[in-house]
Amino acid sequence: MASLSKVPLPNSNSPTISFSSSLSNNLQWRQSSFAFRAKYRRHNNNSIPTVRITAKIREIFMPALSSTMTEGKIVSWVKSEGDVLSKGESVVVVESDKADMDVETFYDGILAAIVVPEGETAPVGAPIGLLAESEEEIEEARAKAAQAGTKIDNSAPQVISSGAAPKSAPPPSPPPPAPEAEGPTKTVATPYAKKLAKQHKVDINKLTGTGPFGRITPADVEKAAGIESPKKPAAVPDATPRVTTFSQKAATDSGGNFVEIPGSSVVPFTTMQAAVAKNMVESLSVPTFRVGYPVDTDVLDALYEKVKKKGVTMTALLAKAAAMALVQHPVVNSTCKDGRSFTYNSNINIAVAVAINGGLITPVLQDADKLDLYLLSQKWKELVEKARAKQLQPHEYNSGTFTLSNLGMFGVDRFDAILPPGQGAIMAVGASKPTVVADADGFFSVKNRMLVNVTADHRIIYGADLAAFLQTFSKIIQNPESLTM
């Protein structure tokens, strides 16, 4: 079977993905049982077993780089056909739903054939290349790759060119005539036809009906009586002719009412945009509710002016405050995944929404409640750099238990956020702006205030839970000395 392994390499700070699977000479491309003989030799207690495999051609397949990945896009092939590969070398860069990752080979050999070229996608587990042990197997590997491509082409649906008229299907044969009934038959007429026949003294039994199934209609009676039916006035044509465009017809056929604007261009989703769209649609199945809360930020703003010289960002301050509030309200940090139970997460991992070129991603500040503010800020900067370079590892973006989305830096005063799948709540933070506030004694003053809206899963979090959490969050923001401890 195909194997996917993590191989630690010297002088490497990040985990690497290695892959390969073997193909025997007499087996077909897709349905092959990857049998091989292995011989282990252990030189000492610390050595890695040496595996000797008799297979000649190995299959390079699309690895699963995250738990949500169903297909991957080939960003670039680091190696070309005919290049000699060594175990641990990067072969291809794959774009998953969240990041680009270098994929390494687990075996020595020659890259004999590239099955999926750059810019194309393939489902997880599908072959994207072939690895040969020696030059003698290169031609055989390329033949297998060509055969696989032919099978894919043959399985594609046939499309009739718009230039040639499709052959019309033969007209259906007319139904056989109904057998004539023997003996007298009953005359069938509409009630109004019978009334007319009685008025004009027409023998209805001698008429031949022109209606469905020989039914006698009022027109048949009037014709027999010599009465001309009044002609209907001709329909007045509409002054504005109705024109059905191809785009309107396509919209009607697809069930939508969308009309394509002339000159528009259609851009397909990137892998990341497709993943975001899928998650947003999935979120619609969760019953959610929203609670807003005003938070005074004068003291927090003063603290930020002091600590930003040391590299602390406002995002780090907000993430730290949210984590400290979640410690006191663990239900807001919980998760409902199956609709029948919920989980109190043992870690407080704050995911923060970041807009990058071509999509949206949520790097995760793991154990945000346990890290001090300065270490948290440093960690956040590293995550943002990796996110914009599309180099985040799966655990760095899919392990969040609570999400923070901050649009305050753009001047947005309030907004609602969509709940990410697998989480209990998401906080939307607006800008801090001078606001006229009245105290309990009726005196007015101007304070900096921001509006916070939280969207929560109503199956596990109730209004009182969210209100209590927001009160705690507000107290921490208004007394932020604990954030620097």
Structure tokens at 424: 């209990």
8 pLDDT tier (thresholds 50, 70, 90)? very low
Q: What is the 3-state secondary structure (H, E, C) of the chain?
A: CCEEEECCCCCCCCCCEEEEEEECCCCCCCCCCCCCCCCCCCCCCCCCCCCCCCCCEEEEECCCCCCCCCEEEEEEECCCCCCEECCCCEEEEEECCCCEEEEEECCCEEEEEECCCCCCEEECCCEEEEEECCHHHHHHHHHHHHHHHHHHHHHCCCCCCCCCCCCCCCCCCCCCCCCCCCCCCCCCECHHHHHHHHHCCCCHHHCCCCCHHHCECHHHHHHHCCCCCCCCCCCCCCCCCCCCCHHHHHHHHCCCCCCCCCCCCCCCCCHHHHHHHHHHHHHCCCCEEEEEEEEECHHHHHHHHHHHHHCCCHHHHHHHHHHHHHHHCHHHHCECCCCCCCECCCCCCEEECEEECCEEECCEECCCCCCCHHHHHHHHHHHHHHHHCCCCCHHHCCCCCEEEEECHHHCCCCCCCCCCCCCCEEEEECCCEEEEEECCCCCEEEEEEEEEEEEEECCCCCHHHHHHHHHHHHHHHHCHHHHHC
pLDDT at 229: 56
Mean local confidence (pLDDT), 265-287 = 83
pLDDT at 189: 75
pLDDT at 34: 33
pLDDT at 398: 87
What is the model's pTM?
0.55
Give yes or no: 458 in active site: yes
Residue 15 has pLDDT above 60, yes or no: no
What percent of the chain clears pLDDT 70, i.e. is strictly above it? 72
pLDDT at 338: 80
pLDDT at 345: 93
Mean local confidence (pLDDT), 407-417 = 91
pLDDT at 67: 62
Residue 219 has pLDDT above 50, yes or no: yes
| CA–CA dist 391, 400 (Å, integer) | 17
pLDDT at 425: 96
Residue 198 has pLDDT above 70, yes or no: yes
| CA–CA dist 71, 52 (Å, integer) | 31
Tens of pLDDT, residues 20-64: 444 434 333 333 333 333 333 333 333 333 333 435 777 787 887
Alpha-carbon distances, residue 130 vs 16, 21, 73, 234 (angstroms) = 20, 9, 17, 73
Question: Mean pLDDT over all residues of the chain?
Answer: 75
pLDDT at 187: 66
- For the ranges 104-108, 156-160, 183-187, which has the lowest average pLDDT? 156-160
Tens of pLDDT, residues 133-182: 777 777 777 877 776 654 444 443 333 333 444 444 455 454 444 444 44
- For the ranges 149-163, 235-249, 305-319, 462-476, which has the lowest average pLDDT? 149-163
pLDDT at 423: 92
Tens of pLDDT, residues 325-339: 999 999 999 999 888
Residue 102 has pLDDT above 90, yes or no: no
- Point out the catalytic residue in the list 43, 329, 395, 458: 458
